[in-house]
Amino acid sequence: MPTTVSMSSTSINAVTSFKSFHFFFSADPSTDYDLVERIVKIVKTHVLANEKVGTISVFNDASTINHKKLGQFDSSLALQETCLFVPIVTESCLKKLSTLKEGSICEYLTNWETALRLSESSQVCIIPFFIGSKKTDSLSSSSSSTSSIESTYQQFSGFTTIMPDICTASSIEYAKKLSEVRGELVVPLNVKTIVYNVLKFSGVFVDPSNLEGKIEALVNRFSQEIWPVFRQFWKNKEEIGPEPILTCVQCDQKYSWSQNKDGVCAFHRGFVRGSDYLCCGLSAYDGSQVARGCTVGRHRARHHRDYTYEAFFFWIIELINKNKHNEEFLNLRLTNYETKETAVIRVGRILPSGQ
């Protein structure tokens, strides 16, 4: 019986809302408005991979709140039509949240709460941006009495900020409206629960003076992992055109993401030595056996290191042989002068550009 491999992914069957926004950026407009505007501007310079029309649609709640364009509940409706929610988390933002009192109003925190509730049913994905800060040091010259100012990047370190165990007026009002929509009592989440649950998500640490690289990586991740899940629920189908056909790196078969599910991909976990596969002993020259494979799972369009597959080994060798895709720490050649056999040991790492 074939071995089965699986990967965690957003459940397609759980998505019920049509989508109009690829990204929803959420930030405190009083402290981080300029930062989120810069982030949105850079995001819009990128396009989605594998799409003929790859224009990115963004909802920016910092701009919405700052200019009072929409009401609070309208922002939550926009969130329901969003694929990826990106809370902009700064230490100044958390410091402000830590001082909230019972009955306070905080609209962007309500959007964080909305995203958490939607993510529970796979309606939206969440990837926080943890924004670092600049530390200014005064350096004195040994040869003179003059000094210079130097700024160094400090990674975000606000995870231990103590949050109040109270509910804001915004959260209470949002819970009431949700209760009306759902026809059942919805309990509001307190500040502590909302913030700590957002901080639990695997996020991206960002230097605010060097945004381009991290944003490019975020858009690439969205294109490859998140967008294919939500694409079929895009509201304006004419805008995106037909679904692209992908080629699986594991079995070399053509497929579309909407047709991808567990068990459709059959492949071998090892390579051929002699005439047989090392993983299962099946003959490499029996067409029916090779087509069936010894392992089944989902199709994958990109090479990965979650588990091995036949093409994986050729991919790794190619990366190792291309200096631009790897960083080598050690190259050791050992020769047995009695048998004349030589072994080569290379230690290093694959650079992100080669993944």
**Distance (Å, rounded) from C-alpha 11 to C-alpha 152?**
42
Residue 82 binned pLDDT confidence (cut-offs 50, 70, 90): very high
Residue range 102-161, pLDDT digits in tens? 888 888 898 999 999 999 989 999 999 999 987 665 555 555 555 555 668 889 999 999
- Give tens-digit pLDDT for 254-271: 998 878 888 999 999 988
Per the CB < 8 A criterion, the answer to whether 122 and 128 are in contact is no
Rounded Cα–Cα distance for residues 110 and 76 (Å): 8
Strongest mean pLDDT among 11-15, 48-52, 257-261, 324-328: 257-261
Cα radius of gyration rounded to whole Å, the chain: 25
Q: Which of 278, 252, 72 is nearest to 178 (CA)?
A: 72
Residues 100 and 106 sit within 8 Å (Cβ to Cβ): yes
Average pLDDT score, the chain: 83
Q: For 29, list phi and psi in degrees, rounded to 5.
A: -65, -20
- Cα distances from 340 to residues 228, 335, 337, 344, in angstroms, run 52, 7, 5, 13
Condensed to tens digits (0 to 9), the pLDDT of residues 202-236 reads 999 999 988 999 999 999 889 888 998 898 899 88
**How far is the C-alpha of 99 from the C-alpha of 89, rounded, in Å?**
16
